[in-house]
């Protein structure tokens, strides 16, 4: 949407980062079988800008599970309105920690 872009029509990196965080949380929540919190974002690379009107697809894959944390590699791809192919625009590694009702770290299922 235009409110998510700079005057030149490029989507703000923070908006894309938030979408990637949401995408990465899905496999983390599945593995943790419950609530998680984002604790780190590493290796963020913005390869190309995303313009207003581009279709954005996000792909997330768990790359490591520790005792309480999960690392997820997330990629964002864009397809311009008139294009038939997609291009990777951003990637990064998000770390989530499983938390309990008191928001304290908890052990992942099967890791205790």
pTM, 2 dp: 0.91
CB within 8 Å of 21: residues ≥ 6 apart: 38, 41, 74, 94
pLDDT at 75 over 90: yes
pLDDT at 66 over 90: yes
**pLDDT attached to residue 111:** 83
Average pLDDT of the chain is: 95
State the Cα–Cα distance between residues 104 and 46, nearest whole angstrom.
32
Ordered by start, the domain boundaries in the chain are: 2-98
> What CATH number is given for 2-98 in this structure?
3.10.129.10
């Amino acid at each position: 949407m235009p409110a998510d872009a700079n005057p030149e029509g490029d989507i703000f990196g923070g908006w894309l980062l938030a979408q990637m965080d949401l995408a990465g949380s899905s496999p983390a929540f599945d593995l943790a079988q419950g609530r998680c919190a984002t604790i780190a974002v590493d290796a963020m690379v913005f390869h190309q800008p995303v313009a207003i009107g581009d279709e954005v697809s996000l792909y997330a894959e768990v790359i490591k599970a520790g005792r309480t944390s999960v690392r997820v590699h997330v990629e964002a791809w864009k397809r311009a309105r008139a294009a038939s192919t997609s291009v990777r625009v951003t990637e990064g590694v998000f770390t989530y920690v499983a938390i309990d009702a008191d928001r304290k770290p908890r052990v992942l299922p099967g890791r205790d």
